[in-house]
Amino acid sequence: MSIFVDETTTVVVQGISPTSQGLYHGLRNRAYGTKVVAGTNPKRGGEEIEGIPVFGSVKEAVEATGATASFISVPPPHAAAAIIEAAEAGISFVVCITEGIPAQDEARAYNRLVETFPGTRLLGPNCPGIISPGKCNIGITAGDIALPGGPVGIVSRSGTLTYQALHELSQQGVGQTTCVGIGGDPVPGTNFIDCLAAFQADPDTKAVMMIGEIGGSEEERAAQYIAEHLTKPVVSYIAGVTAPPGRKMGHAGAIISGSQGTAQAKMEALSAAGAVVAQNPTEAGVRMVEIVKELG
């Protein structure tokens, strides 16, 4: 199985035009096999771009096509409104790859979803998206580095390391059920625990790879969840071991202050929870391959 998306998922691309990033990545997703059924652009409703019907709003797209998921690729000032528009239209899964959204906009959109649209899950913002190999790919992950067939689920804050995790496992012939890039912004719509719980409930996921980074306390909270709820083996890697305090490294959420949010603290918490903690991404792949072999 897979989590959040599968071969039945139908996608509307918000922010589509002949020269947009939304079209570029939407076409790549469609070429992978994802059911991209519509696009939206208030100025181009009624048109068709590369075989994708364009509607003036998400509501119109959902009414015409029955789309269940949204792929948002719009400029930062408009992204929060696009998220809410998707939720208002009844979309149950929203992937927002937009980077640079003001933190206040992210917080308002997230709180609005929680309070008013509990049936809508947001992935991102500022994330690579999600891929269930051989079934569905929404976002910017290259489909050719993923391998269908399980048995590993991947969740990562880092986009680049998401790709490396997929590649490391695929090179060793170890497939994935779903790979989720949750993004590194301060207010993620979907967090580690959401994904860990979904992987725990998925019978085809036998082990989980979790990739974190410095900043915040999401990894520590995930470690507590692993200790209390996860029965499947976890291999983890935390990026940013050499990052100096107070220095922003990469994502807006990847900043440490004093003893808070350090890689060492996160690694210790995960190790105490029973996870296998690797010192680099390649070692994480090697350790996961070993675990999969032991599982048979």
Is residue 167 among the annotated active site residues?
no
What stretches of 56-113 adopt beta strand conformation (E)? 69-72, 93-96
What is the rounded distance in angstroms from the CA atom of residue 233 to the CA atom of residue 250?
Answer: 29
Residues 6+ apart with CB under 8 A from 159: 127, 128, 140, 181, 183, 184
Beta strand extents in the chain (DSSP E only)? 10-14, 35-40, 48-49, 52-55, 69-72, 93-96, 121-123, 129-132, 136-139, 151-156, 175-181, 207-213, 234-239, 276-278
b/e map 56-79, b = 16+ CB within 10 Å: ebbbbbbeebebbbbbbbbeeebb
The catalytically annotated residue of 25, 167, 229, 251 is 251
Q: Cβ(176)–Cβ(133) under 8 Å?
A: yes
Active site residues: 251
